[in-house]
Structure 1
């Protein structure tokens, strides 16, 4: 079966691949009033007066189309693909296309300010005509899945997230750290202080028992501060040695031989 481009109605190349990313079988489509505030759309104005602005109930599909890029030099595919995504509002009974919205920027689908179930969609018709339609979900879970699918589409197509403030696009950018300028201005100089230069180091503390001028001996025992006598000279030592050698032992007393002056005191 030949594939058709839903936005142009023209047949696609035979090697084109189409894939359904999301489908909602029943959503409400509204003919919404023109935007009166730069802040965004309000769904309460669509549903007032018994939903008189509701057009019909449609089926919503998000369709991805990948077309291989030909290599003009060789006449074959280059291996690269041209990928696009379209949001389709169709008749649920026969699948006839009612409106299509090529998803090229984040402004194509905007969530309203007062509900998570309603969105404003910029559709495109034949001849490039554009209009803004409102869509609404009965369940918040289906609306959440719709938002998640669009988030994945933006990642695939490389579409940057934008915000609105005063009707202008604001691209979210990471705040870069402020760069400091350390270069010298005209007339500025640098002064460097080298620690310890020109200063004399204090003398080290003497350990216990030593004076600053050298060694100091502890006081002699007994106190009083008396000086010890000088040692004898070599001549005095020699004289004392000779004297001790010339002294003869004293004779032993007579009583020590065991004789007495008794009757037998004389030999006969």
Structure 2
């Protein structure tokens, strides 16, 4: 649209090559208007229709098909409204309030031979005044000051923020170790601790000779745990208690 101080240009919203015009009787009451009350088979005038817009104001112009001479026009400042009204018994006929240059007005009936033409005429007016309504809302929003409180996300003086990045919530649980630095393995299922070898065992040597104790402390073979023990008194005595091993003195 043209800016303030400049002439507004006229735009064409819809053109229909043929429309019929009818003289309609005066309204006797507020009852609905019926096109069947008109002389539909004998229109009073036929010609071309152009729907134009200049700014917010629309105009319906009835013109001669050949010369383009203006027959009548109807200024439209709102739709739906009193300038353009529908009838109760058909979607192809409307009532227009035409107006001349002297401000005199009269009501006439118009009709389209095709329903598609009537639909286009109706939609052209609807779209124009929908745009007018949106323009009015934009102007109101521009003129109304924004009183909505603003959200201040800036830091105040002396305000700090702490970020915890990469901290694990799990505690560090380490495997307990023996005093010698080696962890003790648990015995296998069904396993038993073997008794320490006695002093008289053939597998032990005197400490002074530099020998080492090669006896096993763990019996890893669970299948041998149920074997019968020998009846030798020396073997029986060595499997009683660990204290006997400590109490034996070298000969």
The normalised TM-score by structure 1 is 0.45
The normalised TM-score by structure 2 is 0.48
**Which has the greater radius of gyration?**
1
In terms of fraction of residues, the more strand-rich structure is 1
